[in-house]
Structure formats: structure tokens, C-alpha cells
Structure 1
């Protein structure tokens, strides 16, 4: 991963980056972008940079970039980098644009303004996430860029900010790696092994992995039903971070379908080709828990990742089957492609009945209806608790992700009725994301008013590079969860 150093003055001047901002209201709508006050650049480059702004017609919008070559000069390259409003989001976008623009350089130096916590965090996350790449082969080689020096007024004082940004980016990259991995490699057993590897040497993290025999003995009927059609048996990963003096106990649950054919209700090929991403919720909650432990947040976190491969075979569960979930509730399913809610229901019921947390949050690539309602960048958030919903939405926004609160419509509860079971898991009346949330609510017990469900199917994947997102898995949810958990601390 790209190295970022905090320095009090420029040390290597191959490429120097100066931030620029849009013109302010007093400067007029046609005024060029302006240089941001930073530590003075060497060799009095201010006049040269200022002269470039109107010639290059730069606006200063976040991510805008101009490179001026200076053969024989020091530095050899001068980069003007737009930061937009100068908030953390603008700096994150700028950092990602810079990472892509200078990937063929070896060293880059960036000058930051004074009091740079938000600027540093955004820049560092943007650099580390914008430079992300996933390959199963080394063909093509890695980018040349290996180190970025960031000139700040207080390197020691800003070190914790850089550390938090690096941990956040590292965990987001882990979630991206897990989600991007093809399902020819990734199955429930493999996923559990990756978690075990991540906690090796960490006695402060407790891991338990339930295999099919244990799931059957303990009554996890939803996980078993979804996974019974695959030669790769299901798992339930339970990972706990328990600090010495926790302020509260949060359970995070993430959907972990390592590949989804739709089962007997088989998907068409176009809908199936990206189903390696159907465990992005599990990747996000596990990475966030590892990040919280690395940051030593004083919040007890238990993370549950129900893992299964939804395959077509003679042993697969059928439309019309009745599933008995953990704790005894039963559900009728007439669509085996509505499988995510079945594994989540088991994990949530177990959390409520056995772990007794203060708060319960689940993340899941649950429905295509999420994208229909909110497009590709927003998750759909459901909760009966106004304050809890507002706090989590604020954290998601501050982290540079996006979600929108959706209704748990009382009129739709009747859609969950079944003649054969306690619940119908896949009603045909529409409002797919809402009815899925309502189904999950039935398994929250006494935590009904302290529960949040996030349907993050759409923002879990990007079709192209976009600011700090890179094409493929986005790691959505890791940044927002870590921000929220930090507020609980």
C-alpha cells in the first residue's frame, strides 16, 4: 500500500503539488481559481503557479488537476490540484485524482494548509483508495508511485489523524479485496479462513466459526437451507472485539452469500455474472470490526457473518419450502433468489436471544429494488429509531458514503402473511426493499427500536472509477461504520 509521510518541509522535489480552491463570491463569478495558503513553496513558485491559473482556466473544483512540466527546474513537475469547498470530501476526491494522475512518478510532495486534520484525512483516504487495484496476477506491474510526502505545520500532532485515515483505507481495501475475489476461489470456507488469518496473533479478537454440523445442531435453519445446494457447506463467522472498558455493545450482521445463482429460482446470466459481490455486507462488517480493534475503540463489537453459496442442485431448497429459523420462527419462501434475508434472519435472531446487545445493525446486498429507488450511490437505511438513524446517516455522510432513510411502511406488513408459516419471506406485491426490511424486523425481538437495516446492494459496486471509488467492489459501509462506532466511543 502507498506510503504517506508527514514532514515539516519539502525534502524531495521531483513533483510538487499545490492545492487550489474556487474563486470566492467577492472575487466574482469569472475569477480564476486561487492558490490555497500553505507552507511557502521553495524557490518562490507562488508567482509561477498564480500565473498558470487563468491561462489553464482552472476552476478549483475537487479533483481538477493541471501538471506543468519544468525541465531542468526544481521541482521538475508542478501540479495544481483542485480541492473544491476544501472540506474532507473535497480533499478525498482530490487525493484520489492525484493518485491516478501521478501513478507513474516515484515520489510526490503535497503542501497542506495549517490546521489540516480534515484536509489530511480526506487527502490520505483519497490517495490510498484511489490507488487501489485488484489483480489475481502480477502481469502489468504495480504503479511506480510508492511514497507521498505531506508537508504540514505539526507532523507529530497530526500523526493520529493520518493513522486513523490509513486504518480506514486499509480496512476498506480489505473489504474490496474480499468482494472482488472470484467465486472460483471464494466460498464460505475460504472466507472464514481469511478472517482467521486476519486475527492471527490478535488475542484481543475472539473468533468462532460454526460449520454445517454445528449449524444444524443449534438450529440455524435459514443458513442451512440456503447453503444446502452447494458442495461448499455454509458457515457462521462470529468475531468479537471486547475492549477492557466498553461503553456499549454493538452487534453487526453482514450478508455473506459468496455466490448467488438464485438457486432453483435461477437468475438470468446478466444478473448472475457479478454475484461474487453478494457477500459485500459480510466483508464490510468484518473489516469495520478489525478496524475498530486497530483503532482501540472502547466499544464492544460482535460481528456475525452468515456465509453460504446459493447453488442449483438436487439438494437445493425449493420454492414453497418452509424454513425454521434460529429461535423457532418459520418462513415460507416461494423464491429461492430471496435468500439473503433467510441467512440474516438466523444471525439476527441469534444475536437478540444469545448476545443481548445494546444496538443491532445489519448490512446486506439484499435487493435490486435498492438501485431502482435510489440509484447506484445510495444505500437504503431503515430504522424505527429516529436518533439512531440520524446518527448513522450523519456518520455515513461524513465518511464520504451516502444513504437515504426509507419507510418501514405499516401498510405492507400484511404482505408477510403466510397460510403455511409464521411469515412469507418473498411476497410478490412489490416494494421489494421495504418488505425485505419488514421481514428482517420480525427477528429483532426486544431490539426492534434499536435496530438499523441497510440495503447496500447498489453502492457496493462501481462500474467505473469515480473519485475515491475504483471500478469493482467499493468496500461501501466500512468507512461509515467506523465513523459511527467512533462516535459511540
Structure 2
């Protein structure tokens, strides 16, 4: 009996710690054409103040019915407004949905994506399998393409599901979306760019959602490799012994108490010549806090999301490779797991980072900056990056300062700040600058070159990391609180939202343009 119980326990542990592999994310399909197709739902994109729907090939009875419904419902086409007409007269569809787009010239990409998410949620509440989206009331060809493709992108982003651990998952949305557009070729090309971006977001969501026992450092790195290499990305994975040999004691020390030791993932998309820009993402795959143990059950249960920064940089490189972007970019993901054991790092210990400087461990729960320090140093020293942006779920102090509407950005480089803010506005992953100057001595250590704690907390983390970038143009994005949705909202389902992928993807291309 004892032997049988022991076997079951071992088998259970082996299952929970098994490595995961990539899987398809969507069952929906999107296509573009210029003609009306058979559909269960017909969606009309309606500009504001439209009073007469003059739709090609509609009978006068159909037109009169829909126009009358608009008048009764006082539907004006205001952005985000929606009106559904069931069993429309003279039309071979079950439902007509009028979706207001406001003034098409003023409809931002982010707002159009929100409309797509709204549409996706509505369609999923029906049994419809075929959805036709008619955009002919948007007469400007460029705006027609812009709005239609962004709408499809938003629908896809909302339809993601993380269900790999459910024995009987709910059925995923299965629809064929056909978008009737003015310029099919341009729409297809723009959609392919956004679809590649969506795939990067999905990868980031998946990696962040993985529980600690499934998304540990080696498993994370191998998952990323399987996704990235088929796209032409060069992937290098350094194991714990290589990390030790390179002197990266700051990264190694965080995982020394775990049997899942630290790894370093390097993923290089060379779509252009010259020095690369580096994206360094915090990849703490589970954070117990170490001996500075997290004591809130509501907090610790989400600590598998502490790898969201690493997931974001992997997703951004995947997106750029999928887009065949003409950029030279490398993702660096220092990966660790912060566990208590007899071998774990202790408060008061001193470690030596890759650059040879020493760090006093003021708190084992300030581990993110420890692993990022060696990641930033590696990008500077071994990859010769011309600019470095690191991204991390780093400090609760950032949430106290900015909440979750903005991430905090710390930099002394005006070009980096300006381009990050511009990229963030475009995709609504917004950043707001916080200062670095005026905080002399906040990470001073009595026994080492610096300590990994200080107050105010967000500045202490940023100033700590700034040292390891040295003279390389550098920015730190503290995205604490931004990477997880407790409930579905807009383009994001419940759970990990892939925050940072869209910001960094846009930023890399923007920085490439402005720094050439």
C-alpha cells in the first residue's frame, strides 16, 4: 500500500511539472473580399450621423426596415454604439448588426480594436458561424482598410482562451469572418501584420498564464525556442552552469534554492544590419518571495505572472519576425524561480554580478532586479546592443504611483522616452515618466557595492538597474499591475493579457526609424 501511494505521488508530481508545448490559439478564421457572402450575421460599419443606409443590392423593403429600426432606436452611428435587427425583411441573414464607428477619420486603431472585441463578444453569444462585415459606408479607402483590419485584430485578441489544463474546456469560438472591403490586397497585407502581432500576444499570454510547476525556467526557454526558431529567429539558451561560468551570480543566486535553476534565453531576429536593440524581460517564473516570504494568499497565487516581462519580450520578437520587420532586435530573458530551501539565498548574502560588482541582498523578494541586472549586462557586454529597454513586473510602488492605467518609464534618454510614449499611445499600453535624479544614496550598502532595496521602491529598482546599462542608451519599464486582468475587458480575456508585446513591437520599429 505504501509503495502504491508513493508511486501515485511521484506520478502526480511528474504530471504537474511536465514541460508544455505550443498549441493553436484560435478557431476563428478571417478573410477579405469585395462582394456579399452568405452569412448568419451581417455587420454594417456605420459612420456617425448616417440617416439612410444605402447598401448595394438591398431591396427598398430591406432598406426601409433597417432605416426605420435606426429611427426608433435613435441609433446615430456614434462610436461604440450597437443595434441588432433580428430577421430583417428581404435579407437572407438571421441578424443585422449596426456597429457605430463615429467619425472614421477620428477612429484610432485602439478604438477600432475595441469595436472588434465588442463584436466578437456579441457574436459569441449567438449560434452564428458565418459573419459578414460590410464596410462600404466608410468611403475613404485608407480608412476602410485601417478600420476593418483593426476590427479583425481586436476580435482575435478577445477570442484567446487559456484552457490547456481543463479536462473539459468550453468550446472555443468557431466562426468564419468575411470582411467586405474596398481594397482587398491592402487589407490582407495589413491584417497579416496584425495577425502576426496577435500571435506574439498569445504566446506572451500563454507563457505568463503557465503555473509555476509548468513554466519553470528551462520549460519557458524551450517553449519559446519551439515558437521562434521556425520564424527564423536564432535562439540560444544558457543553462545554470554556463551562467555560473560567465560570472552572473546575481541571476544564478535567485534560483540556487530550487531544483529548477536559472537559465538565460537569447532570441535574435536580424531583419536588418547594424547593432541590435535589446529587449530585456524579467522572467521570474514563480516568486514565493524567498525567505522574505509573501504572506498574502491572494498575492502569492498569482506569482506565476512574475514572468510577464520575459513573456513580453519573447512575444515582441515573435511578432517582429512574423511581420518580417526590417529591424535588428534581440530579446534577453533571464529566467529564475524564487523558492525557499536549505540552499536558498538568504537576506544579508552578497552576490557578484556579471560586471564584477557586488550586491547585498537586502530582501530576497526584490529578486527581479537581480536577474535583470545580469540580463542587461549581458545585452550590453556580449550582444553590443545600441539601446536597451528592460520591462518587468518589478515594484508595488509603481502601482501606488500610477495604478494600472500607465506603466512607469525611467530613462535619461529623450529619444527613448519619446518613442516609448508614442508607441504606448498607439496601442494603449501607455507609459508615464518617473524621475531618476535626486535619489542619491538610496541603494547604498554598508558591505557591498550596492543593495537591492531602497525607498522610494520604484526609483530604487530603476537606479539599481541603471548601473548595469552603463553608457548604453537605456530605459526601464515597470509594468507591475498591468499584465493580468481579473476579468475580461475590451480586447483582453480574463487572466494574462500579454501586456508589453504591442508596446515593444511598435517601439522597436519606431526607434529604428528615428535613430537611423
TM-score, reference length from structure 2: 0.87
- Structural mapping, 1:320-335, within 5 Å: 320-335=348-363
The separation in 2 between residues aligned to 1:484 and 1:372, in whole angstroms, is: 26
1:479 aligns with 2:502: yes
Distance change (3 Å), C-alpha of 1:345 and 1:416: same
Which segment is superposed worse, 110-119 or 171-180? 110-119
Q: Give the 5 Å matches for 1:3-152.
A: 3-23=29-49, 34=50, 40=56, 42-43=58-59, 45-58=62-75, 60-70=77-87, 73-84=91-102, 85-103=106-124, 104-112=127-135, 113=138, 114-115=141-142, 116-136=144-164, 137=166, 139-152=168-181
- Judge conservation of contact 1:65–1:98 (CA < 8 Å) in 2: no
Query: Residues 22 and 321 (structure 1 numbering): CA distance in 2 closer, same or farther, change over 3 Å?
Result: farther
Q: CA deviation at 1:353?
A: 1.6
Distance 1:359 1:329 in 2: 22
Provide the residue aligned with 1:29 in structure 2.
none
Which of residues 448, 463, 479 in structure 2 aligns to 1:456? 479
Is the CA contact (8 Å cut-off) linking 2:198 and 2:319 kept in structure 1? no
Sort the Cα spacing of 1:374 and 1:350 in 2 relative to 1 into closer, same or farther, 3 A: same
User: 1:190/1:11 Cα in 2 relative to 1: closer, same or farther (>3 Å)?
Assistant: same
- Matched residue of 1:415: which SS? coil
CA shift for structure 1 position 138: 5.7
Aligned residue among 424, 432, 443 for 1:416: 443
Q: What does residue 291 of structure 1 align with?
A: 319
**Partner Cα separation in structure 2 for residue 458 and residue 43 of structure 1:** 52
1:52 Cα offset (Å): 2.4
SS of 1:199's equivalent? helix
Contact kept in structure 1, 2:145 and 2:181, CA below 8 Å: no
> Is 2:274–2:328's contact at 8 Å kept on the other side of the alignment?
yes
Tell me, in whole angstroms, the C-alpha distance in 2 between the residues paired with 1:138 and 1:232: 27
The corresponding residue for 1:443 is: 468
Runs of 4+ in 1 over 6 A off after TM superposition: 35-39
CA 371–74 in structure 1, closer or farther in 2 if over 3 Å, else same: same
Structure 2 unmatched ranges of 5 or more: 1-25
Helix, strand or coil: the match of 1:13?
Answer: coil
Cα 1:144–1:359 shift into 2, 3 Å: closer
- Going from structure 1 to structure 2, the CA distance change for 1:275 and 1:46 (only over 3 Å counts) comes to farther
Partner residue in 2 for 1:172: 201
Q: Distance in 1 between matches of 2:348 and 2:39?
A: 68
Measure, in 2, the Cα distance between the counterparts of 1:74 and 1:316.
67
Per the TM alignment, residue 117 of structure 1 is displaced from its structure 2 partner at its CA by 3.1
Structure 1: any 5+ residue segments left out of the alignment? 24-33
How far is the alpha carbon of 1:14 from its aligned partner?
Answer: 1.6
Match of 1:312 among 314, 328, 340: 340
| Contact 2:452 2:461 (C-alpha < 8 Å) held by counterparts | yes
Is 1:156–2:177 an aligned residue pair?
Answer: no
Task: Indicate how the Cα distance of structure 1 residues 41 and 122 shifts in structure 2: closer, same or farther if over 3 A, else same.
Answer: farther
| 1:374-405 superposed Cα distances (whole Å, 9 cap, x missing partner) | 12232111111112211111112112322212
Corresponding residue of 1:26? none
Q: Deviations over 1:17-60 (max 9, x none)?
A: 1123445xxxxxxxxxx479896474464443333234334464
Q: Secondary structure at the match of 1:159?
A: helix
Q: Deviation per CA, 1:170-213, whole angstroms, max 9, x where unpaired?
A: 111111111111223211111011012113444x3211111111
- The alignment's TM-score, normalised by the length of structure 1, stands at 0.92
Q: What whole-Å deviation, never above 9, does each CA across 1:214-262 have from its counterpart, x for those lacking one?
A: 111111111111111112111101111113x426520110000110000
The one of 419, 425, 429 aligned to 1:391: 419
Cα 1:74–1:250 change in 2 (3 A) is same
* Cα distance in 1 for residues equivalent to 2:444 and 2:278: 28
Counterpart pick for 1:250 among 274, 277, 282:
277
RMSD: 2.0
Contact 1:297-1:485 at 8 Å conserved across structures? no
Equivalents in 2 of 1:131, 1:454: separation in Å? 27
Distance 2:351 2:52 in 1: 61
Kindly state the Cα deviation for residue 484 of structure 1 after the two structures are TM-superposed. Answer: 1.9
Q: Deviations over 1:125-146 (max 9, x none)?
A: 2111111111122624323432
249, 255, 262: which one aligns with 1:234: 262
Alignment length (residue pairs) = 472
